[in-house]
């Protein structure tokens, strides 16, 4: 079974963005190169921080103490 995902952002693309962010004089707050980065930022603006955080947290596995 192949476990790779064609939708993932290639490592070289992310590496170039990280290198650019590390070397520019005034880096951006966000670099939207990852898969689904732009839709997630749009969701956060549309839903607000609290609702967005609740959606994201609902997808995380809960561990017992």
In a domain, 26, yes or no: yes
Asked whether the predicted pLDDT for residue 58 surpasses 80, the reply is: yes
Please give the Cα distance from 28 to 44 (Å, whole number): 18
In a domain, 23, yes or no: yes
In a domain, 39, yes or no: yes
- Read off the pLDDT of residues 39-51 as tens digits, 9 standing for 90 and up: 888 888 899 989 9
Number of domains into which the chain is organized: 1
In a domain, 34, yes or no: yes
In a domain, 65, yes or no: no
In a domain, 20, yes or no: yes
In a domain, 3, yes or no: no
Residues whose CB falls within 8 Å of the CB of residue 59, separated by 6 or more in sequence, listed in order: none
How distant, in Å, are the alpha carbons of 4, 26, 57 from that of 51? 31, 31, 10
Q: Range of 19's domain?
A: 11-58
| pLDDT for residue 23 | 94
């Amino acid at each position: 079974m192949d476990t790779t995902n064609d939708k993932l952002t290639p490592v070289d693309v992310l590496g170039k963005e990280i290198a650019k962010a590390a070397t520019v004089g005034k880096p951006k707050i966000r670099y939207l190169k990852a898969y689904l980065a732009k839709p997630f930022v749009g969701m956060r603006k549309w839903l607000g921080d609290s609702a967005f955080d609740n959606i994201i947290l609902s997808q995380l596995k809960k561990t017992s103490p």
